[in-house]
A = this chain, B = another copy of it.
Amino acid sequence: MALTEAQQQEIEAARAAEGRTRRPVAPGLEALLYQAIPVLDHGFLRVVDYMGDDAAVVQAARVSYGRGTRAANEDRGLIRYLMRHRHSTPFEMCEIKYHVKLPIFVARQWIRHRTANVNEYSARYSILDREFYIPAPEHLAAQSSSNRQGRGTVLAGEEAAEVLRLLRQDAMTTYDHYAWMLNEDEAGDTVDTSRQGLARELARMNLTLNTYTQWYWKTDLHNLFHFLSLRADSHAQYEIRVYAEAMLKTVAAWVPACFEAFSEYRMGAVTLSARMLEIVRRMLAGEAVAQEGSGLSKREWRELMEVLGREAG
């Protein structure tokens, strides 16, 4: 993470400026507010605003007039019920806003989630910083041999060293040329007055996809949970999963009861098809069921045995 002194001071100033409000306050999240959580080598994630708390979910579900006087465990029970039965609208009543710094190839995955509001730093209008993501050696994985969309073992030795060298060198070189084409210094002044400089909206095309960008990203709790169920999952690409994991921490601090219900009913949950369920029922009745005759393909059978913690064979 590379915050300048000025940026750090802006963040401190924002943290220091407390005010009074009649709105619900989530003390756990107030403590984290504005602070940058480091992610990857130069990225970060920080909460810049939020709306609502656990009680706001309950209030919306009941369309109630006030904060209510029910016992906390009654609220928790309702939240668990809503999560278990996939009642999504009450969770839409909480909202959170993040400021994120992330590599462009991660931003491209992230933006597929359409039910969110986004303001990205504009490289048509401004100049991007000289910062790019270079994987740590332990994340430099080979292509998975079993999964066309995944990683296998970690690269080692000379191959690893050469990959890192190339990534660094290409990012540096393309950035140098980007800067040369722009022909502007940091203050926006022309460097070489014998040249015009290329338009920013064109020069940016010379940057590599590991260049960092940043954005404000805002979504509601239901859609955030959907994002997290996909991106904090073990099948998600490591480089986006670390952002999702940082978000999980902020959600736990913000809406602990919702977070608990989400962890229980969504993160650790499995879905069984009608046919899979039938097999589980037969096994529970003492029957020895084999893949052949099960109605499942070999692939599905393997998936089911894995879920049940049994040998596939």
Could you tell me which A residues sit within 8 Å of B by CB distance?
A: 3, 6-7, 9-11, 13-15, 17-25, 30, 33-34, 48-52, 56, 59-61, 63-68, 84, 89-90, 92-93, 95, 97, 99, 103-105, 107-108, 111-112, 114-115, 117-122, 124-125, 133, 135, 140-144, 148-153, 155, 159, 163, 166-167, 170-171, 173-174, 177, 180-182, 184, 195-202, 204-210, 214-216, 218, 220, 237, 263-265, 267-275, 277, 280-281, 283-284, 300, 307-310
Please name the residue on chain B nearest to A200 by beta carbon: B143
* CB neighbours of A51 from chain B (8 A): 49-51, 95, 97
Q: Which residue of chain B has the shortest Cβ distance to A145 in the bound complex?
A: B196
Q: Are B166 and A181 in contact (CB under 8 A)?
A: yes
Q: In this complex, what residue of B is CB-closest to A81?
A: B299
User: CA separation between A25 and B163, bound complex, in Å?
Assistant: 49
> Which of B17, B21, B170, B216 is the one whose CB lies under 8 Å from A19?
B21
On whether the beta carbons of A280 and B280 are closer than 8 Å, the reply is: yes
Find A218's partner among B92, B99, B197, B283 (CB 8 Å cutoff): B92
Greatest chain B CB density within 10 A among A64, A149, A182, A209 is at A209
Once A50-B51, A92-B117 are accepted as A-B contacts, the answer to whether A174 and B208 lie under 8 Å apart by CB is yes
A66 near B14 with CB under 8 A, answer yes
Determine the chain B residues whose CB is within 8 A of the CB of A170 once the complex forms: 170, 173-174, 177, 206
**Please, how many angstroms separate the alpha-carbon atoms of A268 and B109 in the complex?**
31
Q: Is the CB of A104 within 8 A of B20?
A: no
Chain B contacts for A25, CB-based, 8 A: 19-21
Q: Once bound together, how far apart are the Cα atoms of A181 and B143, in whole Å?
A: 10
